[in-house]
Amino acid sequence: MAYVVERPKLSLAEKLYFPSILKGLKITLGHFIRLMRGRTKVTMQYPEEKWDASLPAHYRGAPTLVTDEVGRERCVACQLCEFICPPRAITITPEQIPSEDKWAKVEKRPREFKIDMIRCIYCGMCEEVCPEQAIYLRKDYAITGTTREEMVHDKKRLYELGGVREGLVNKWNELK
Amino acid sequence: MDWFLVLSSLIKISGFTFLVILPFVALSSLAERKVSAYIQDRVGPNRVGVPLTIFGAKKDFPLFGLVQPLADGLKFILKEDLTPKHVRKFYFWLAPALTMVPALLTCAVIPFGSYLNIGGREVKMVIADLNVGPLFTFAIASLGVYGIVLAGWASNSKYPFLGGVRSSSQMISYEIALGLSVVPVLMVFQELNLGMIVEEQDKNGWLLLPLWGEGLSWQRWVLLVPMVISFVVFTIAMFAETNRMPFDLPECETELVAGYHTEYSSMKFAMFFLGEYAAMIIGSGLIVTLFLGGWSIPFLPTAELAKTTWWMGLLHMGCFLTKVAAFIFFFMWVRWTLPRFRFDQLMRLGWVFFFELALANVFLTALILMIVKR
């Protein structure tokens, strides 16, 4: 059925255009005054104010390596994270743990563990795939550097960022 | 030769242009960004201060973005001044100057204060006390369009060209309304000297606020009707004349890249920018002078006092600048409220509506003056 859309009949005030201009001016002035009086919530002033305190527990920041409460580095250099990493940011060089070492039965550890933070996309796959609970995404999000080399986190830096994590499953303790 | 006259004129010229207009231009570019930010619920530039850290200090000296214009200017100067190969070089270089100079020239006739008593001599606070003030302003201000047209033409590229063409047609259609709308005002004052016009308003009430002196008569209140029409038409035509939003079709970003200054960079672009703001300031100054009593303080006729005391003159200057600043705010407020007109709407508004309205207003004023003043 043909349906005719009625064109709106404009009143004189609407045709004159001025009342709507005044209405618009009123709205913008309202916004202006509200902000001047500090009633409007505006953006966060970033370097001075940060949202660190309100970051959620599941926030995915920079990936780091952790040690446990007995001081053992948890990574066993299985390289699962290296293989799953979508942008291939992780490079692991494994080595054999010498037999006189206290943790010789773990057999493998990383000699070098590098995460290229220019490539990292903070997806958290490495944390998810890790069978040893060794790699965690922390809440650091402002990773900066002045050279490309600086942006590659090596093993030392990763442990520094990760720190000690307690309450993890202790697969390799003395009883087992 | 009267050395006092020469010296005071030189001081007035350099003082008014370099200490008032140019800082006003700089500050209004900052104000524009701040006002736009506030209207859009943002913060606006609030960072720039004195960068003491460059000189080895621990912290920068914060000025809450107040020196942002300086940073902008520095950026403009340091940018590469590119002259593309395909342009007509002479006119390409001439155009930015041609927009800036007329805008600054018009400030010669605007009375920015009453009198300043220096060593017993009263100095009129206007650079050129011409008896044809408004005419001079219109004559020079409309030269500004040449800069824009030349820029568009010399750029040898289509979008600047379209911008230039638009600018000229827009100027022509609004110049008429601008000129005609000011005729009733001059009829009421029977005077073409802007300084005398302001003094008259100081004595007998502003044109739009006749509340003291002889202004408190019913004749003036009847005259208020054509005066308000004049004011509205004049203000809108001034918006078009200075290429401000809703009429900034020459540089209409959405269709013309950046309009007439597409091919310009660095300081040459900045000249267009400064010219636009200077024109806006002079435009506001003219509106304030004609309709809102220039330097006069409302309800206090103080022109005579300014001739004998030194502080009254300064107060008048402050009053004028405050009014101009308020009007500049109005310019910005309108810019960040209204959308741009379509070009045919703009032409229709200029030729079919404002031209007729201004013309009818002249006759209306004449009629009222004939009946009422007798």
Q: What is the mean predicted confidence (pLDDT) over A9-16? A: 82
CA-to-CA separations, A66 to A74, A102, A136, in angstroms, rounded: 7, 18, 7
Q: Which amino acid is at B133?
A: G
Tokens for B43, please give them: 């913060």
Residue A83 predicted with pLDDT over 90:
yes
Residue B328, phi-psi category: left (phi > 0), alpha (psi -120 to 50), beta (remainder): alpha
Task: Determine the pLDDT at residue A112.
Answer: 92
Task: Determine the pLDDT at residue A175.
Answer: 64
Test mutation, B34, B35, B39, B40, chain A, max A CBs within 10 A: B39
Using an 8 Å CB-CB cutoff, list chain B residues near A40. 41
3-state helix, strand, coil in chain A (%, to 5): 30, 15, 55
Test mutation, B36, B41, B330, B335, chain A, max A CBs within 10 A: B41
What are the residue ranges in chain B where pLDDT is below 50? Answer: 374
Which residue from B38, B33, B329 is spatially nearest to A38, judged by alpha carbons? Answer: B38
- Angstrom distance (rounded) from CA B184 to CA B260: 35
Burial degree of B273 (CB within 10 A; 0-12, 13-18, 19+): buried
Q: What is the mean predicted confidence (pLDDT) over A19-35? A: 89
Using an 8 Å CB-CB cutoff, list chain A residues near B40. 31
Q: What is the mean predicted confidence (pLDDT) over A38-45? A: 82
Residue A84 predicted with pLDDT over 90:
yes
Q: How far from each other are the two terminal CA atoms of chain B, in whole angstroms?
A: 47
Ramachandran angles phi, psi of A42, nearest 5°: -110, -175
Please state, as a whole number, how many other Cβ atoms lie within 10 Å of the Cβ of residue A134: 26
Using an 8 Å CB-CB cutoff, list chain B residues near A31. 38-41
Tokens for B206, please give them: 């502003």
| C-beta atoms of B38 and A29 within 8 A | no
Give the model's confidence band at A92: pLDDT under 50 very low, under 70 low, under 90 confident, else very high. very high
- Going along chain B, which residue ranges are E strands? 115-118, 121-124
Using an 8 Å CB-CB cutoff, list chain A residues near B233. none
DSSP for A84-144, written as a single string: H-TT--EEEEEEEPPTTSTTGGG-EEEEEEEEETTT-----HHHHH-TTS-EEE-S-----
Task: Provide the residue ranges of all domains of chain B, joining segments of one domain with +.
Answer: 81-372
Q: Which amino acid is at B15?
A: G
Residues 6 or more apart whose CB falls under 8 angstroms from that of B306 comprise B114, B115, B116, B117, B122, B312, B313, B316
Range scoring the smallest mean pLDDT among A40-54, A83-97, B17-31, B56-70: B56-70
Residue A5 predicted with pLDDT over 60:
yes
In our burial notation (b when 16+ CB lie closer than 10 A, e otherwise), range B154-170 reads bbbeebbbbbbbbbbbb
Give the model's confidence band at A87: pLDDT under 50 very low, under 70 low, under 90 confident, else very high. very high
Cα dihedral: B277, B279, B282, B283 (round 10): -110
Is residue B180 within 8 Å of B232, Cβ to Cβ?
no
From A42, which residue of chain B is nearest by alpha-carbon distance? B42
Tokens for B131, please give them: 């008896």
Which of B38, B333, B336 faces A35 most closely, judged by CB atoms?
Answer: B38
> What predicted TM-score, i.e. pTM, was given to this entire model?
0.80
- Angstrom distance (rounded) from CA B238 to CA B226: 18
Task: Determine the pLDDT at residue B29.
Answer: 87
Which of B42, B333, B334 faces A42 most closely, judged by CB atoms?
Answer: B42
Is residue B245 within 8 Å of B335, Cβ to Cβ?
yes
- Any idea what the Cα angle at residue B59 is, between residues B58 and B64, rounded to 5°? 175
Residues 6 or more apart whose CB falls under 8 angstroms from that of B276 comprise B99, B103, B242, B243, B244
